[in-house]
Amino acid sequence: MKKLVSLVFLMIVSTWSVTVDAQIKVVTTYPYIGDLTQKIGGEKVDVFVLGKGTEDPHFIVPKPSFIAKLRGADLLIINGADLETGFVPILIQQANNPRIQSFKGFLDLSQQIKLINVPVQVSRSEGDIHPEGNPHFALDPHRISILAKAIKEKLCGLDSNNCRTYEKRAGDFQKHWEEKTKEWDQKLSALKGTRVIQYHQLFNYFIAAYQLSVIGTIEPKPGIPATARHIDELIGTVKTQKGAFIFQDVYHERKSARFIAEKTNIRDILLPHDVGAVPEAKDLFSLFDEIVRRLTD
Amino acid sequence: MKRILIPILLLPFLMVPRSYGSDIEVRLEALEKIIQEQQGIIEKQQQEINELKARTGMNKESNVAESATTSPKQKESGGPLKVQVKDLAYPTTPIEQKYSERLKALEIYSFPQGKLIPDISFIVDGSFIGRGMNDESYRRLTVPDFIPSGLSGSNRGFNLNYGEMALYAPVDPYFDLAAVIPFSESGVELEEAYFRTKMLPWGLQLKAGKFRSSFGRLNVQHRHVWDFADAPLINRAFFGEDGLAEKGVHLNWLAPTPFYLLLGGEILQGENTASFGTSSLSLQKNGLTFSKDSAPGPNLFLGFLKSSVDIGSLSLLGGFSLAQGQSRQSLSVGSGTQAAYGDAKIYGFDLTAKYFIDSYRYLSWQNEFMFRQRRLNVGYDPAPDDLTQNLSIYGKDLNQSGLYSQLVYRFAERWRTGIRYDLLSQNDVYINSVTQSRPGDLNRISAMLEFKPTEFSTLRLQFNRDNSLFDGDRREPVNSIFLQFNMAIGAHRAHAY
């Protein structure tokens, strides 16, 4: 018993000594937010990401180990717009950390974005719809800069001594990002007007940005798995409307897309939706590089 | 507006020379001209309005971008800006008109609080039960020394198990309030009603009111998140059908360790009679008295420790719990009445291993072991109306333990299956320090298959083979089958791991 007590004590002391150094502890829900925060904060921040790029962002499990991470966080950054409803509130509730429950230590990125696909009526008979609008805005590269700015502001608010550093890093990032965005815009301009099918309404912002058009989703309603009849209807739609691509995400089943592709002779492309979704998407830049590469190859 | 209109309407009469007065066509022409002029003015004004609108910024993103350049402090108090933008987004005139009409009718309430409605949800749980024994015989059965009185249980056929309303909302920056109110066909109770703190320092959290105790793994969870239709035998034996939900306070401390470590304590009223109880007792017969005052409240003291680590996709969660309190029990046994007082101590160990295959599939193995020690003084009146039979008073010590182990496999997004094994492994009973012979191997095995179309609906098929039940001294194995539904509507908070 004595040994156990001293062991626990030692652990507590050791973790305390880690907190003494000046790094800001940031917890983010998704890898893309983590990457963006790391790029702006550099070595001044210590970032922990809850979800993995390979997971369905709607269903991250609120594991107890996440509670321990949130306990020590100075800042929690979420995507927002209802995407994290299934795990963030319950984690905050158990984390016993007042810092992330006040304005200073919490950032909801969706507040910076004018959301699209806002439903006029909200009913669960239409599946798992997001009442505030489509939350997958990070897939439009034109909206990343505004997020970077918001993160920079937040870091400056928490750590005014290093605000200069954050401003500089954010400025550098934005410059680089704008250059890359031009390059992606140019490469993707050829796709304008292309008709696509996707599993979930995941790529809507990307599709809107590059003026593609969606002719259907493999799931009949958000969060409801595909049915044979719905797939048949989709095949009909693809045939009459001459669809060109199926955007397949990494976490849903791939059989349905494969089946439609085979029946209609269109391409099903596995597209990463977040950093880490495929091995090539190592950060935000390579995420969009990879999306562009897979679409234009 | 009216003041401007009247001169305008009067204009033609004032401006048109008197000699033309009789010529209607000329007068009409003049009128037309004036109307056209007015039209021009209106258009010009509209244009100006549009320009002004554009300048104030209808676009939310450009607005945020602008405000982002201001200092964070300014942004924090930047609420009114958003409101302004929103207001401009509406066409002003018709609404203004409506508003003034309603204002005249005094129909406007200046203090609407509609947006402050808490998260409200309602859950309904019903089942069809098939059982190889009629309801009367089933209710007579007991699990010797574990569940001594008749089983409440559900009837064969259709059952409405409960309708449960849950409320949750922040009270203010410092507290959240939660309530769980199960309705049955016969009435309403308040299963949980408590506040919890949000702003305590040093990783502390306080909860007070009435709540489900954090003892072990399953007790704190609500019925609708259980993996099976019924509670494990050991939970039912030690905490009763509805589990340990008591009035009191709960304090927990989340240690600042890199892994999850939670330490906590609870001080509870201890009215749960399955192991504890507070009411006074009294048996009297032929000048002989067996009685005991009520237990002082609070009567039940708990401590627990929970810890968790992740190894890749495997998540381990373990816990140790201890509960101690006085016992006061009064129940009918056969045709007689039994009263008992003393104390009880329960030790609990739990271990859950969950392996996540992907976002939709996992394999979960959950186990709980509990040990209960009771020292009781028992008074037994075999037949209260028969004065020839005297009270018997004796000391009864019990050392009892049991466990459940369940394996649940979510093999597809909407499907889960699982098996559970219940075992009441130890039943050592001493009367006046003399060892009693008691039946062993009290067990039950359950299997379930679950279809879960969404996170809000569940349909479950479950089979139980129960070898723990006795009719007097005779073991009565009972098979039952459950077809259960559980549906939730409204704003229901996500559940803890």
DSSP A204-219: HHHHHHTT-EEEEESS
B199, B256, B260 member nearest A98 (Cβ): B199
Is B67 within 8 Å of B81 (Cβ atoms)? yes
Same-domain check for residues B347 and B246: yes
- Cα–Cα nearest to B372, from B318, B421, B327, B408: B327
**Total length of chain A:** 297
A20-183 shares its CATH topology with A190-296: yes
Interchain pair B199, A113: CB under 8 A = no
Q: What per-residue confidence (pLDDT) applies to B4?
A: 52
- Beta-sheet strands, E only, within A213-260: 213-217, 245-248
**Closest chain A C-alpha to B272 CA, distance in angstroms:** 26
Is B374 within 8 Å of B342 (Cβ atoms)? yes
Same-domain check for residues B108 and B156: no
C-alpha torsion sign, points A159, A165, A168, A174:
negative
B204, B454, B496 member nearest A62 (Cβ): B496
B432 Rama class: left (phi>0) / alpha (psi -120 to 50) / beta: left
Classify residue B220 by its DSSP letter. Answer: T
**Number of folded domains in chain B?**
3
Distance separating alpha carbons of residues B262 and B244, to the nearest angstrom: 20
pLDDT digits (tens, 9 = 90+) for B150-199: 666 688 999 999 999 999 999 999 999 999 999 988 899 999 999 999 99
**Closest chain B C-alpha to A75 CA, distance in angstroms:** 15
DSSP H or E segment with residue A104: none
Same-domain check for residues B124 and B109: no
Burial B333-365 (b: 16+ CB within 10 A, else e): eeebbbbbbbbbebebbbebbbbbeebbebbbe
What are the chain B neighbours of A16 within 8 Å (beta carbons)? 256
Interchain pair A96, B68: CB under 8 A = no
Interchain pair A153, B360: CB under 8 A = no
**Closest chain B C-alpha to A242 CA, distance in angstroms:** 31
In a domain, B132, yes or no: yes
For B70, nearest residue in chain A (alpha carbons): A153
**Closest chain A C-alpha to B243 CA, distance in angstroms:** 22
A67, A86, A225 member nearest B413 (Cβ): A225
Phi, psi (5° rounding) for residue B306?
A: -130, 145
Distance separating alpha carbons of residues B160 and A237, to the nearest angstrom: 45
Q: What average pLDDT values come out for chain B (497 residues) when binned by 10 residues?
A: 50 46 68 82 80 60 41 39 41 61 66 86 96 89 84 84 94 94 92 96 96 96 93 95 95 96 97 92 87 90 97 96 95 85 96 96 97 94 84 93 97 96 94 89 96 94 95 92 96 85
Distance separating alpha carbons of residues B381 and B365, to the nearest angstrom: 45
ipTM surpasses 0.85: yes
Same-domain check for residues B183 and B301: yes
Distance separating alpha carbons of residues B405 and B421, to the nearest angstrom: 5
Is B321 within 8 Å of B215 (Cβ atoms)? yes
DSSP-assigned beta bridge partners for residue B193? B179, B210
Q: What per-residue confidence (pLDDT) applies to B73?
A: 39
Distance separating alpha carbons of residues B374 and B431, to the nearest angstrom: 12
For B252, nearest residue in chain A (alpha carbons): A96
In a domain, B5, yes or no: no
What are the chain A neighbours of B497 within 8 Å (beta carbons)? 61-64
What are the chain A neighbours of B198 within 8 Å (beta carbons)? 98, 101
Is A154 within 8 Å of A107 (Cβ atoms)? yes
Other Cβ atoms closer than 10 A to A44: 16
What are the chain B neighbours of A55 within 8 Å (beta carbons)? 358-359
Same-domain check for residues B362 and B310: yes
- Cα–Cα nearest to B259, from A160, A189, A72: A72
B176, B306, B456 member nearest A124 (Cβ): B456
Same-domain check for residues B373 and B420: yes
pLDDT in tens, chain A (297 residues): 556 566 555 555 555 544 445 799 999 999 999 999 999 999 999 999 999 999 999 999 999 999 999 999 999 999 999 999 999 999 999 999 999 998 899 999 999 999 998 888 888 888 888 888 999 999 999 999 999 999 999 999 999 999 999 999 999 999 999 999 999 999 999 999 999 999 999 999 999 999 999 999 999 998 888 899 999 999 988 888 877 889 999 999 999 999 999 989 889 999 999 999 999 999 999 999 999 999 998
**Closest chain A C-alpha to B309 CA, distance in angstroms:** 6
**Closest chain A C-alpha to B315 CA, distance in angstroms:** 8
A64, A97, A154 member nearest B497 (Cβ): A64
- Cα–Cα nearest to B164, from B119, B125, B212, B116: B125
For A99, nearest residue in chain B (alpha carbons): B199
Interchain pair B494, A86: CB under 8 A = yes
- Radius of gyration over every alpha carbon of chain B, rounded to an integer in angstroms: 35
For A158, nearest residue in chain B (alpha carbons): B72
The domain ranges of chain A are: 20-183, 190-296
In a domain, B4, yes or no: no
Distance separating alpha carbons of residues A196 and A180, to the nearest angstrom: 24
What are the chain A neighbours of B259 within 8 Å (beta carbons)? 65, 68
Last residue of a domain, which of B80, B115, B150?
B115
Distance separating alpha carbons of residues B227 and B132, to the nearest angstrom: 23
Interface test with A, best of B306, B316, B356, B359 (most A CBs within 10 A): B359
A92 Rama class: left (phi>0) / alpha (psi -120 to 50) / beta: alpha
Tokens coding A27: 């917890």
Interchain pair B494, A96: CB under 8 A = no
Same-domain check for residues B320 and B343: yes
Q: For residue A25, what are the contacts with CB-CB under 8 A and spacing of at least 6?
A: A19, A45, A46, A48, A72, A73, A74, A75
Q: How many CB contacts within 8 angstroms connect chain A with chain B?
A: 122
Same-domain check for residues B149 and B208: yes
Tokens coding A21: 């150094």
CATH number for the domain that contains residue B412: 2.40.160.10
A11, A89, A153 member nearest B72 (Cβ): A153
Distance separating alpha carbons of residues A270 and A243, to the nearest angstrom: 16
Same-domain check for residues B195 and B334: yes
In a domain, B274, yes or no: yes
Same-domain check for residues B110 and B123: no
Give the Å distances, CA to CA, from A218 to A83, A157, A224, A253, A255: 20, 43, 9, 10, 11
B356, B489, B494 member nearest A89 (Cβ): B494
Interchain pair A64, B252: CB under 8 A = no
Residue type, B195: F
Distance separating alpha carbons of residues B300 and B239, to the nearest angstrom: 13
pTM score: 0.82
- Fold (CATH) for A20-183: Rossmann fold (3.40.50)
In a domain, B288, yes or no: yes
In a domain, B10, yes or no: no
Q: What per-residue confidence (pLDDT) applies to B33?
A: 81
Tokens coding A57: 């962002």
**Closest chain B C-alpha to A130 CA, distance in angstroms:** 13
What are the chain A neighbours of B79 within 8 Å (beta carbons)? none
- A152 burial type by CB count under 10 A (0-12 exposed, 13-18 middle, 19+ buried): buried
Domain A190-296's class?
alpha beta
Same-domain check for residues B148 and B265: yes
Q: Is B293 helix (H, G, I), strand (E, B) or coil?
A: coil
Interchain pair A225, B72: CB under 8 A = no
**Closest chain A C-alpha to B193 CA, distance in angstroms:** 16
Same-domain check for residues B131 and B103: no
Range of the domain at B463: 118-490
B59, B72, B198 member nearest A98 (Cβ): B198
B205, B309, B454 member nearest A223 (Cβ): B454
- Cα–Cα nearest to A200, from A261, A123, A253: A253
For A19, nearest residue in chain B (alpha carbons): B256
Q: For residue B83, what are the contacts with CB-CB under 8 A and spacing of at least 6?
A: none
In a domain, B304, yes or no: yes
Interchain pair A64, B75: CB under 8 A = no
Q: Is A158 helix (H, G, I), strand (E, B) or coil?
A: helix
Phi, psi (5° rounding) for residue A194?
A: -65, 140
A11, A93, A94 member nearest B257 (Cβ): A11
Last residue of a domain, which of B12, B28, B58?
B58
**Closest chain B C-alpha to A240 CA, distance in angstroms:** 32
**Closest chain B C-alpha to A72 CA, distance in angstroms:** 7
